[in-house]
């Protein structure tokens, strides 16, 4: 309802002054109420199973617990019931995320029910990926230190550990200068997000020069594992490069074979979740 329409609700009165005052209020409401649709809220994609919300909360906790994201960085999931919406926490350190912090956005990153909450300025990374990747239901943006050298040097990130074999398809590097010239390095609008999503293409990971990466997957569990293993792979590749000589990378054929025979993602998830929530069984 138009908030200005409350101006029409005034006490019953009969004096001339009060009638004139009422007329003035009606005229104000007539002018201002047509403006209300401009700030109309984005409709919700529908209710979300609390278990799905909890999965996203746990994803945030795991990524923080494993040092993949610190005060910054974020994880999101596509709305399980509406592909044109996604879910992500309000602007808050991932280690502190609870179910109450999860907000819903449309694919232009407009909030469904903002309620005064602050939002990640880089949420366009997520929305622009969801627009062009119908296969993607989970997105993670990190500043993980391991990947930084491969975004600023001429050495491509390639798989050296079997758990990161998904990198065999190649890891593109996104140059924000090509998309926006001199910026503050943040993907804080849809145009920059779209450029990043185009660089990502059909790949699982893209590096962001001098910043971090964007990691995507078919669900939250897979994207969390990919973010963890991408960082581990980058660190080990840098160590091996420091040893010198040509490296013996995991081949595209080996990578493709592992793509077709995925290992059980639940084992890592259950362990990481227990560690992140400090709920390890007593011995």
Beta carbons of 86 and 120 less than 8 angstroms apart: no
CA–CA gap between residue 218 and residue 211 (Å, rounded):
24
**How many other β-carbons are positioned within 10 Å of the β-carbon of residue 106?**
19
Beta carbons of 168 and 233 less than 8 angstroms apart: no
Output the CA–CA distances (angstroms, integers) from residue 101 to 43, 54, 271, in the order listed: 19, 11, 24
Known catalytic membership, residue 122: yes
**CA atoms within 13 A of residue 261's CA, in its CB half-sphere:** 6
Question: How would you label 162-191 residue by residue, b for 16+ Cβ within 10 Å and e otherwise?
Answer: ebbbbbbbebbbbebeebbeeeeeebbebe
Output the CA–CA distances (angstroms, integers) from residue 171 to 5, 21, 159, 267, in the order listed: 55, 67, 10, 26
CA–CA gap between residue 135 and residue 138 (Å, rounded):
9
The residue from 55, 104, 122, 128 that is catalytic is: 122
Mapped onto helix, strand or coil, the DSSP state of residue 109 is coil
Mapped onto helix, strand or coil, the DSSP state of residue 71 is coil
The percent of the chain in helix, strand and coil, each rounded to the nearest 5, is 50, 10, 40
Alpha-carbon torsion angle 159, 163, 165, 171, nearest 10 = -60
Catalytic positions, written as ranges: 122
């Amino acid at each position: 309802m138009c908030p200005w329409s409350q101006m029409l609700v005034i006490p019953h009165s009969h004096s001339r002054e009060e009638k004139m005052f009422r007329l003035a209020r009606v005229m104000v409401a007539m002018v201002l109420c047509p403006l209300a649709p401009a700030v109309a809220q984005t409709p919700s994609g529908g209710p979300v199973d609390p278990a799905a919300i909890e999965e996203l909360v746990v994803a945030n906790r795991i990524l923080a617990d494993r040092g993949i994201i610190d005060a910054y960085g974020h994880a999101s999931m596509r709305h399980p019931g509406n592909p044109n919406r996604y879910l992500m926490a309000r602007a808050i350190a991932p280690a502190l995320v609870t179910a109450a912090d999860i907000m819903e956005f449309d694919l232009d990153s407009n909030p469904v029910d903002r309620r005064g909450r602050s939002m990640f300025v880089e949420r366009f990374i997520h929305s622009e990926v969801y627009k062009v990747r119908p296969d993607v239901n989970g997105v993670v943006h990190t500043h993980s230190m391991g990947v930084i050298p491969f975004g600023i040097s001429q050495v491509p990130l390639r798989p050296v550990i079997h758990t990161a074999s998904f990198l065999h398809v190649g890891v593109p590097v996104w140059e924000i200068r090509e998309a926006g010239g001199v910026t503050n390095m943040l993907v804080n609008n849809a145009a920059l997000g779209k450029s990043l999503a185009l660089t990502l293409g059909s790949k699982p990971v893209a590096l962001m020069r001098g910043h971090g990466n964007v990691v995507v997957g078919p669900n939250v569990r897979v994207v969390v594992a990919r973010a963890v293993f991408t960082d581990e792979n980058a660190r080990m590749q840098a160590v091996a490069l420091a040893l010198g000589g040509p490296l013996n990378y995991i081949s595209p054929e080996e990578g493709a074979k592992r793509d077709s025979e995925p290992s059980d993602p639940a084992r890592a998830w259950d362990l990481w979740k227990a560690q992140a929530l400090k709920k390890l069984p007593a011995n």
